Structure formats: C-alpha cells, structure tokens
Chains A and B, each alone.
Chain A
C-alpha cells in the first residue's frame, strides 16, 4: 500500500458520536504512557456506542471483539458532528490504539478534530456528503489522499473528500510537535 492511500475494512456509525461513546469515562484512568495499560484504550474504543447503533446498518457489531485489544477494522465512517462532547484526547488515541487508520465523516466537533490532528492520531477526513448511510460495515474502502477520493470497492462507488485545509501542514508533519520542529518553533 502506498502511503498516499489507506485501504481496509469499514466500520460504520451514525451521527453525533460523542467522546463518551468513543471511550467511556470510567476507562480514562489507564496510563497512555505505559505500554501495557495503554492497550486497554484499544480494548474499550467505541465500547460506549449503544449496541444497536454499533457497526451499521446491521448493528450489534463491536469495533473490538470481546477480550481483544485491536480491531479487525481499519477505517471508521461516521455521520455529522463526529467526536462531540468532552476534550479527552484519549478518544482519538483509543481509536489509533485499536488500529484504526482514518475516520471519514461529513463534519467533526472542534476539539476532537483538533486533537486528532495535533496529536498525530487518526486522520480525520471530511467527506462532501454523509456516507454513513451508504457505506456498510465490512465494505472494503480506500482513501486516495492525493486525489481526495474515497473508493468503495465492495459497492464499486467513488465519493469526494474535502481538502484538509489549514491543518494540512500539521497532518503532513505528523502532529503539532513535529510541525513546530520543522518550522523552528521548538528545538
């Protein structure tokens, strides 16, 4: 896989997925620095989503199987206002630790978007339209970053993605610290 594309299995969610659903508050106690404790963020990523809304359109599909620490899915597709709620950076971190490589949603809540970008976690791609009702969990999809396309190989459809805009340089650098070092702000 070239670094300009991200390909894998889709996991689909609805609208207003808030950070309590992404990582419930009771799990925020684990250390993000300790390699063993950190794994629990992967285990519990998206565990707060109501069961019938997890892995749409069918539902009742967990992102991470019971007892495991990593997901079999690669790209999360959500509806509008993805990541609303608290400022916990543990939310995008948990998705990265679970093995998610990218999120696609039509709009994001501000702090979640910022945390995803500045922390260099999962890349938050914005789709031109809400794809959460078109893409199905388990579809094989591919994000073509250069041409800003999302290809659904299972359904043989292609969709437009929006440019990353003002955060493009930070995403390309891999986070705010890497960006600040490149630009000489931080040693």
Chain B
C-alpha cells in the first residue's frame, strides 16, 4: 500500500518507513511560526516550563511575524509586540519581522512563502489556524496552540495524530474567467460542511489544480480549516519549485502521493461547472450562489486578509473597479508590505492598481490582519455596529469581524468588487 503526501512527510519526520492514519507520532519540526497574539503567551509558557534562561531549540527555525494588532492604540496589544521584540533580541533570532522597521511584513501566512519558509516536504507548525495555507507548497502545515508552540520552542518536536486524507479532484484546463479559487473552496466547504474534514487532510488534485498559479492554490489550502481540516496539500510541481527557489537557497526534498495511496474519500468536480459562490452569515458552509442572492442589500465591501489580500486578489478587484465608483464603503488591505508595494507598480490596462482603487474612492489600509478578525475597537475596517459586509476573508461566524450584530458574506474578490459597485450582492459575470 502506498502513502499520501501527508503520510510520507509525517513518516519521514518521525524516523519511520511508514505511518498509518489514526496513530500518534512524534515529529521533528522544520519551522515554528508565531505572531503577536499567540507569541507572548507561548513565550510565557516556554520560560515557565524550560526556565527563564532557556534557549530555543534552533533559532533559525523559529519565525516571528507580528501581524494581528499592529495599527492600534490599544496599550495591551502594543505591549505584546514589545514582548516579541525583547524575546527576539534576547534569543538573537534572525527571523523576526519587527513593526515599524523595513523588516515589517504583515500577514504571516503570506509573508511565510514570500520569505521562503514554505518548503515542500517539510513540517511547519504555527500558532494560527490558517497556517494550513502553506500546504499549497506541498508542506505539512497546521495550526497549534500556545502550549504546543512552547513545547516545540524547547524540544523541536511535537506529537501529531496521522490524519486520513480526503481527495478533491478538479478536472479542466483553466478556470472560467469569472471564477476564482475562493469560489471553489466555498463550494467544497458548502458541500462537506464546517466539520466535513475534521481531523483530516484535504488534498487538492487534478488537471484543474495543476493549471492554477501558486496564489490560487494558497486560497484553497488557506480555508481547509473552515471545513475542520488538519491540513491541506497540493502536489508540488515546477510552479512550486520556481516560486520557492526564487525565495530561498535552502534545499528541500519534495514528496508526492503514491498512485496506490489510500484515501478516506474522493470528490470530483469540473472547473467548467463552477459558479460564483457566497457563504451567507453566520457560517462558512452556509452556501448560496451569487446569482441566488442578487439584490441583497450591503453596507460595506472588504478586500484583504491571508485569504483574499494577495496580489492576484487585488488585480481581480481592480479589473472590475477600474473607472467606476463603488456605492458602498470599500476597504482595501494588502496582506503584506510586498503586496502593498506591488499595488503601486503592477498595472491593469496600464494604470497602477493603487491608482484604480484611489480613483474609485476606496479606503486603503496598512498591511496587516486588520478587520478580518475584528480586533481592538480602533482596527481599520472593523464592523462596529450592524453593518452588512461582503468580504474576501475566511470566516463569518457571529462577531468575527467585530460586532456580533454585524453580518458577513464571504465571496471572491470578483464578487466583492462587483457587489461594491451596485451596493447589493452581484454576480460578477455582469462586469466581466
């Protein structure tokens, strides 16, 4: 019997020739990532358990990226960044991306690939549930809590239960021009439910996935947690290697699923059948097509986050917004400073993307997680009242973007931009 990509990585990192779903193994960790919300308590546990003078197991393997509560006057939030800064200095950490310096990046899950930490065949743990994004590169990547992070800081190891793998096969040579990866993952989550992949791997395969660029693959793996998935993976190929090799010189060994690997289940889709999808309030699996919800009144549009704040997401939105004015407040938050810079240099029909947004009257924020998860009350774009918001982000549980009286509709950047123009939910095919 062959093994899946995930099983192979876990076997190799636990020093075994094979593993079976359901068994618990201790794995050696290649990269541990943390940020300003979970870093300070992880550091607190690390010091309590290993001693005030303890050193981290491997300073090159610990990556600290403050991104959550950055542009706020909240004194506790700012204190937490001070704790990270002091720890990075004390431990002499080379991979700390400090706020207020040229090193500052923004959203960790997009900064990680930009900085070359998402290497095929490796094991990445992060103190954030969307750490699974890195599975787009054929890495085993999953979210953990503070205690587990502290344990890794001291030992470089963690136990994991080997997950079963669900396979999602997409056939087709290219996506219909009005479809984005966000539509596909919302379709899948709507089909299997918010606990449809609990404790399992979601593997994306088929000609349709091979045809996708890396950013689209990242949108898919980013949201596996919204179906309860432990990790998501895409088989690494030349596109993966080209992206990673541009970002790091560190060698890696990619692994691939065997043809005779055992799968929990296999779902098959055709790209040509996909339609623009929405997750209605208050759950990511509350699916409807954009067409079904046409005319639903909105107060705000939001384009940002690790899910929908990448360069390709803004290119898509700019194509629709160019030369037009949204009818509702429209917020733009690039995930990282690199993407913020690209908005100035990359163009759509010869016009810089940032100019398109400025001309349209959009409000543009600084690279960070911003209102995706609400945050302190002065957070850019936060929903503070009963707003109805259409958003490219990943969660629409009650209160996720701020007030629990607000309502969030999740959609692709195309659909969000089209809906911004009309002030109501709009199928983007009207503008493409």
Q: Do A and B come from one complex?
A: yes
Per a CB cutoff under 8 Å, which of A107, A177, A186 touches B147?
A177
The CA of A88 and the CA of B149, in the complex, are separated in Å by 12
Per a CB cutoff under 8 Å, which of B24, B37, B48, B157 touches A28?
B37
Per a CB cutoff under 8 Å, which of A28, A87, A107 touches B195?
A107
Is there contact, CB below 8 Å, between B374 and A86?
A: no
> Which of the four size classes fits the interface of chain A?
35 or more
Q: Which residue of B lies closest to A50 (CB)?
A: B398
Is there contact, CB below 8 Å, between B397 and A114?
A: no
Query: Cβ of A24: which chain B residues have Cβ within 8 Å of it?
Result: 374, 399, 404
Q: How far is the CB of A62 from chain B (nearest CB, A)?
A: 13
The CA of A50 and the CA of B376, in the complex, are separated in Å by 19
Is there contact, CB below 8 Å, between A109 and B41?
A: no
Query: Cβ of B215: which chain A residues have Cβ within 8 Å of it?
Result: none
Does chain B have a CB within 8 A of A31?
Answer: yes
Is there contact, CB below 8 Å, between A85 and B395?
A: yes
The CA of A106 and the CA of B385, in the complex, are separated in Å by 34
Of B69-77, B302-310, B344-352, B417-425, which binds chain A?
B69-77
Query: Cβ of B79: which chain A residues have Cβ within 8 Å of it?
Result: 29, 31
Is there contact, CB below 8 Å, between B129 and A85?
A: yes
Interface centre among A25, A49, A107, A166 (most CB of B within 10 A): A25
The CA of A33 and the CA of B400, in the complex, are separated in Å by 25
Q: Which of B65-95 contact A (CB under 8 A)?
A: 68-69, 74, 76-77, 79-80
Query: Given A16-B283, A21-B398, A26-B377, are A48 and B404 neighbors across the interface (CB < 8 Å)?
Result: yes
Query: Cβ of B49: which chain A residues have Cβ within 8 Å of it?
Result: 177, 186
Question: 21 A–B contact pairs at CB < 8 A?
Answer: A16-B194, A16-B397, A20-B399, A21-B397, A25-B400, A28-B37, A31-B41, A37-B76, A84-B194, A85-B397, A87-B127, A87-B144, A89-B145, A89-B146, A89-B147, A110-B228, A118-B147, A118-B148, A119-B146, A166-B161, A176-B159
A residues with a Cβ closer than 8 A to B are: 16, 18, 20-21, 24-26, 28-33, 37, 48-50, 80-81, 84-90, 107, 109-111, 114-115, 118-120, 166, 175-177, 180, 185-186
B residues with a Cβ closer than 8 A to A are: 24, 37-38, 40-41, 44, 48-49, 68-69, 74, 76-77, 79-80, 126-129, 131, 143-148, 151, 154-155, 157, 159, 161, 194-195, 198-199, 225, 228, 230, 283, 373-377, 395, 397-400, 402, 404
